[in-house]
Amino acid sequence: MTVREIATRGLSFEVVETGAGDHLAICLHGYPELAFSWRYQLPVLAAMGYRVWAPCQRGYGATSKPDGIDAYRLECLVADVAALFDASGAKTLTLIGHDWGGAVCWSFAIHRVRPLERLVIMNMPHPRCFARALRNWPQQRRSWYLAAYQAPELPERMLLRNDAAALRRIFTRHAVDPTLFPDEIVDIYAAAALRPGAMTAMLNWYRAVPLNPRPRWLPDNGRVDVPTLIVWGDEDKTLGLETLDRTDEFVRDVTIRRIAGVGHWVQREGAATVNTILTEWLPAVPG
């Protein structure tokens, strides 16, 4: 694996790359992670014949951190992915996303920004399904932080004080097995969040989304026609299982694979099972 700097759309993206070829798999991390979160999947995807890019998305890691909330609107995040694909020179695209990265993937597929071969989503429901669940108390209770993050400056202070102690606890509190997130691993995420401007940029992803249980207008009611795999850690404390209900109303060809005993950080907590699911569901790329 190598780390590259990709300049596009006036920004610089830190991208971890492995594999080769014309079929690009882009892996998009969530909050408050980095491209590092895909370290167990990248070699597996490369062995299947994919050229794999795992970018630190805007605001994260060494990637540019533009000022202002508007710079983190979902349409900007989606356009980043399209620009990375264009810059790669690849001919075919598969998207894989977790958490906020999954939200970007859903929007990319719904808006048909570029032709997609396949779509893989990990622990992030379709936006219509999430909006429906968010009308009810159980998911509202789990999503309390969406409102808390809207406040200016205070969330940054709370998360970063005492060497980012509160941000560190996000990983261990939302893991079924906290020992999978020892200090030396969480230190990597904390150091990235402590970079100048990083925490504000990361929270601006949330601030750019209006607190409205109904998603913004979506073409064709949010329909996705690309073959889609949803991998779900059943012990997710942030997103209830009800957010998966009736996904097939919006996704024509969907496969849902639930993993028992695994929480929100599914690609780490259930790495071996996730990798098996990926190799079974994704077609190998001819050499």
What residues form DSSP beta bridges with 54? 16
Asked if residues 244 and 256 have their Cβ atoms less than 8 Å apart, the reply is yes
Secondary structure string (H, E, C) spanning 169-236: HHHHHCCCCHHHCCHHHHHHHHHHHCCCCHHHHHHHHHHCCCCCCCCCCCHHHHCECCCEEEEEECCC
Is 99 a residue of the active site?
yes
Is 183 a residue of the active site?
no
Let me know if 144 is exposed, middle or buried by CB neighbors in 10 A (0-12, 13-18, 19+): exposed
Asked if residues 29 and 61 have their Cβ atoms less than 8 Å apart, the reply is no
Given the residues 72, 126, 206, 236, the one annotated as active site = 206
Non-local (6+) Cβ contacts of 216 within 8 A are 210
Smallest Cα–Cα separation from 85: which of 23, 41, 31, 33?
A: 23
Reading the block at residue 49, the tokens are 């014949």
284/44 Cα distance (integer angstroms): 11
Smallest Cα–Cα separation from 245: which of 143, 101, 112, 131?
A: 131
Given the residues 99, 126, 189, 236, the one annotated as active site = 99
Reading the block at residue 161, the tokens are 């004080």
Is 60 a residue of the active site?
no
Reading the block at residue 267, the tokens are 């690609």
Given the residues 29, 98, 126, 264, the one annotated as active site = 264
Q: Which active-site residues does the annotation give? A: 99, 206, 264
